[in-house]
Homo-oligomer: A and B are copies of this chain.
Amino acid sequence: AGTMRIAITPGDGIGPEVVAEAVRCLEVLREKHHLALEWTRFPWPSHAWHEQHGESWPSDALDQLRDYQAILLGALGDPGPVDDPNRYLLPDSISLAPLLEMRKGFDQWVCERPARLLPGARQYLKDDRAKDIDMLVIRENSEGEYVSQGGRLRKGTPDEVATQMEVFTRKATERIVRYGFEQARIRAAARLQEGRTRSFRTLDGRTCESQVCIITKRNALRHWGDMYTEVFEEISKEYPDVATHHELVDAACMKFVQCPWAFDVVVASNLQGDILTDLAAVLSGGMGVAPSCNLNPTDPDMPSMFEPTHGSAPDIAGQGIADPTAMLFTTARMLEWLGRKDPAMATAGQELFDAMAADLAESGDQQRSCREIGTAVCNRLKG
């Protein structure tokens, strides 16, 4: 497969700290498994960069990143030092723009966000309800509510009208729904391999090993809600082994709390997926352990982008106390993704995941520094 090249964009806030630990783990894994892996750093802290150059990232950022196989991003969104009297606050609509630009520019049309309560992770739900959370939320990442069409008419006047258009295409709907069903099969197969099973009922009373739940708000946002539902029903016929389910987004939020174990793969639109994944993340241990994988599964020449779901947390940045766990989980996911072309990467990714999970299970409750956690995971990898 040749040498794989990763672009590392640590970003700002706690980004550089957590990325540093990810890089240490990558170094250990590269040496241990003789991985054909190289990386380059792009230090573009959005706030500082904007202050100097008037843009949150260089305008040719996407061109600079285009030739990498993957992008590993720390975090973006630190508005700048708030206690500096000459402070220069960058609104997050600017500092976070590169995220959306990468997703669009590299057609990363899938956003995969697994939620599973790892032993040692924080539980917010009573009665061990969170224990059996094991879902993969697949967020449509290329259109829908995020097309940035709209504007402000008579801006600032009492007669102002602000509009925002949601645009959904059948093509993008079909590919994300089909992707969801494929993932359901892959997950069921992986569970069987591990000797685990789950069972989901179909409407006609059969029992399946896996399930896809489609999310809409079709009782209020009818047009795309109906299209989503129709596409889902059509494609589901190709997957008789996968149970199907439909939830309205508001009811889904409730059920994530009440019966999170009832979900396997969840397919949602861009905004509804954004909301549901934050909720799923917190229910399964908090942002500290949630990875976000922005994937282009169709075009091998386009880089996919991997980021922890957490933000730049400026309030704790620079103190060395950020938890790198989500970043390590994210890095493991990236390696698994690269493993599609080079199995050694997949092995390394699985090893990183196992090390991080073992470390979390053993030390979840302890107060440790970012560096200490990184060191503990590195030591496990060295073994």
Contact = CB atoms under 8 A, between A and B. Distances in A.
Given A253-B282, A278-B251, A282-B258, A93 B219 contact: yes
A169 B160 contact: yes
Interface string A195-223: 00000000000000000000001111111
A217 B125 CA distance: 26
Tallying the copies of this chain within the complex gives 2
A279 interface: yes
A158 B170 contact: yes
Nearest to A203: B82
By CB atoms of chain B within 10 A, which of A92, A125, A277 has the most?
A125
Nearest to A129: B124
Given A257-B283, A279-B254, A96 B219 contact: yes
A162 B124 contact: no
B254 A224 contact: no
A234 to B, nearest CB: 10
Contacts of A157: 170
A126 interface: yes
Interface of A: 92-93, 96, 100, 123-126, 129, 145-146, 148, 150-152, 155-171, 217-227, 230, 249-251, 253-254, 257-258, 271, 274-275, 277-279, 281-283, 286-287
26 contacts: A93-B219, A93-B222, A93-B226, A145-B220, A145-B221, A157-B170, A160-B169, A160-B170, A161-B170, A162-B167, A162-B168, A162-B223, A162-B224, A162-B227, A163-B168, A163-B223, A163-B224, A165-B165, A165-B166, A220-B271, A250-B275, A253-B279, A254-B281, A257-B257, A257-B282, A257-B283
